[in-house]
Amino acid sequence: MKKILLILCAWIACWSVGLGAGAAVPEKADFYRIDIDKEIGPTTWRYLQNGHAEALRTSAKAVILRLNTYGGTVVHADSMRTLILNSPLPFYAFIDNNAASAGALIAIACDSIYMREGASIGAATVVDPTGAAMPDKYQSYMRATIRATAESHGCDTLREADGSTRLQWHRDPLIAEAMVDERIVVPGLCDSTKVLTLTAREALQWGYCEAIVGSVDDIIASRLGCTSYTVEQYESTFYDNLVGFLQNPVVQGILIILILGGIYFEMQTPGVGLPLAVAIVAAVLYFAPLYLVGLAASWEILVFLLGIILLALELFVIPGFGIAGILGLVCFFGGLLLALLNNADFDFFWVSTDSITDGLLVILGGLLGAVLLSLYLMRRIGRRGLFYRVALHVEQNIEDGYVAVSGRLAAMVGREGRAVTVMRPSGKVRIDGEDYDAISYHNTYLDEGTPIKVVKVENMQLYVVPQNLEEK
């Protein structure tokens, strides 16, 4: 018995050790590599955030940021710059061809810059999508930002032969400013006629490049002196790719089509539920990626929802088309548009006219597509195939005993009475002491107490006109 117990205890101990050995532990990587080879924007900003978080999780010694980009949005470049400057990990930039515009700002934020032979850095002027320079207020902000970034790497105080002192910056802020403003003159490097762009050799000469290398391994082995190391590279996940896919303008247009079409068909076929479900799913897929990358704010989504509520009130509570309907349309389409624009709390400082135009094109394209889809589906509903069961197919013929209007209501045509509620255009009328639901025949508003006359009965509904109109 004792032997059995000892064996059992030993087995349990071994099993416990095995569990501990199999537990998830952070994989240690000496260096973590993040590639930025797309346009600087919400996707690359999220990509850098995720890669930086993984580098911290794996206890990496440093991050190698491989850059090959022609630039992008200033707002997201500034966010990436701030992350690099505030990171507890050193960042080494490897310019693998181009670091232009916003890419130059990101590279200058790194602790060290290495470049491939033939690579370039600079041309950081703020431009619109056509390539034209933005007004000076934008350039002023960019000059200050890139100058502060260069100054963040510090300087040395040198004593001259005459006893005076001067500052020798590790990265000359004047050179950084010259990458933005063609008016900046750097003696011996550039005049006041062009925006500065440095080749790899020029960057090495003027302190904007530590060395010219051929690969990431050259940086680690030759420049950092590591003989034994590992490099972990951040790979985009399915989730990252999905977010990027849903931000494609074509996909966004299709989602808008589904939102509009779903709402329309739900109103045309109440109780079905499927069109409304499609609209809800499409709305979630439209706003979710924009919210995750920082384009859509909570208040913009609330504006969209407010538009739907106002439209519902206009359709079901306040018949007609008035203030609620107009405000509903403005909020509905305004929410869709604002979610596409890179504004901060309704501040459109960095939002270009072209961005607004592109957003409007996406929405108008979705609206046109929704109209065409609705027309197509309306012709298909009731036919053999996918949409056969959506429509009713039993005909209510008179021969089968069906009547459209009861004989009592049919006899009401020509009768007179008064409106007992305001008709907008629907309401209640009183005829011979009895109240009936009625609709103003010309969709006009009728005040309470207006003398009316029944002119039509259809679908168990009275249609009335003012008596004075009938007299005229």
**Cα gap 430→364, rounded to integer Å:** 47
Q: Can you name the residues that pair with 427 across neighbouring β-strands?
A: 438
Q: Give domain status of residue 328, yes or no.
A: no
pLDDT at 137 over 70: yes
Using DSSP, state whether 3 is helix, strand or coil: helix
Does 258 share its domain with 152? Answer: no
Per 3-state DSSP, what percentage of the chain is helix, strand, and coil (rounded to 5)? 45, 20, 35
Q: Are residues 122 and 259 in the same domain?
A: no
pLDDT computed for residue 404 by the predictor: 53
Mean pLDDT, range 168-188, rounded to an integer: 90
Is 403 in the same domain as 261?
no
Whether residue 14 is predicted with pLDDT greater than 80 in this model: the reply is no
- Whether residues 206 and 279 share a domain: the answer is no
Stretch 266-283: mean pLDDT: 79
Q: Model's pTM, two decimal places? A: 0.61
Separation between Cα atoms, residue 137 and residue 191, nearest integer Å: 22
Could you tell me the CATH number of the domain that includes residue 129? 3.90.226.10
| 21-30, 48-57, 66-75: least confidently modelled range | 21-30
Distant-in-sequence contacts of 78-83, Cβ < 8 A, 24+ apart? 78/105, 78/145, 79/45, 80/40, 80/44, 80/45, 80/48, 80/106, 80/109, 81/105, 81/106, 81/109, 81/145, 81/149, 83/48, 83/49, 83/52
pLDDT for 397 equals: 56
Residues 80 and 226 in one domain: yes
Tell me if 8 is assigned to some domain.
no
pLDDT at 13: 37
Give the pLDDT band (50/70/90) at residue 443.
Answer: confident
- The radius of gyration computed from the CA coordinates of the chain, to the nearest angstrom, equals 35
Residue 265 within a domain: yes
CA dihedral 251, 255, 257, 259 (to 10 degrees): -170
State how many domains the chain has. Answer: 3
Same domain, 123 and 193: yes
CATH number of the domain that 452 lies in?
2.40.50.140
Mean of per-residue pLDDT scores for the chain: 80
243, part of any domain: yes
DSSP result, 403-433: -SS-HHHHTTTT-EEEESS-BSSEEEEEETT
Q: Which residues contact 412 (CB under 8 A, 6 or more apart)?
A: 431, 436, 454, 457, 462
User: SS3 letters for 59-71?
Assistant: CCCEEEEEEEECC
Residue 217 belongs to some domain of the structure: yes
The verdict on residue 456 lying in a domain is yes
Would you state the pLDDT for residue 470? 52
- Across the range 284-306, mean pLDDT stands at 86
Domain stops at, among 233, 251, 285? 233
Residue 251 and residue 361 in one domain = yes
Whether residue 162 is predicted with pLDDT greater than 70 in this model: the reply is yes
Which of these, 282, 280, 268, 281, lies nearest to 390 by C-alpha position? 268
Please indicate, yes or no, whether residues 277 and 417 belong to a single structural domain of this protein.
no
For residue range 81-118, list pLDDT tens digits in order: 999 999 999 999 999 989 998 999 999 999 999 999 99
Query: What range does the domain containing 410 cover?
Result: 398-471
Of 186, 205, 233, the one marking the end of a domain is 233
With a cut of 80, say whether residue 11 has pLDDT above it. Answer: no
What's at 155, amino acid-wise?
C
Where among 233, 248, 271 does a domain terminate? 233
Same domain as 160, residue 285: no
Same domain, 195 and 251: no
In a domain, 260, yes or no: yes
Q: pLDDT confidence of 320, banded at 50, 70, 90?
A: low
Same domain, 217 and 170: yes
Q: Summarize pLDDT for 18-48 with one digit per residue, the tens.
A: 333 333 333 445 899 999 988 888 788 888 9
Give pLDDT, residue 9. 40
Query: Does 166 share its domain with 37?
Result: yes
In 3-state terms, what secondary structure has residue 166?
strand
Residue 20 pLDDT:
34
More confident residue, 7 or 404: 404
On whether residue 68 sits in a domain, the answer given is yes
Amino acid identity, residue 86? N
What pLDDT does 83 receive? 95
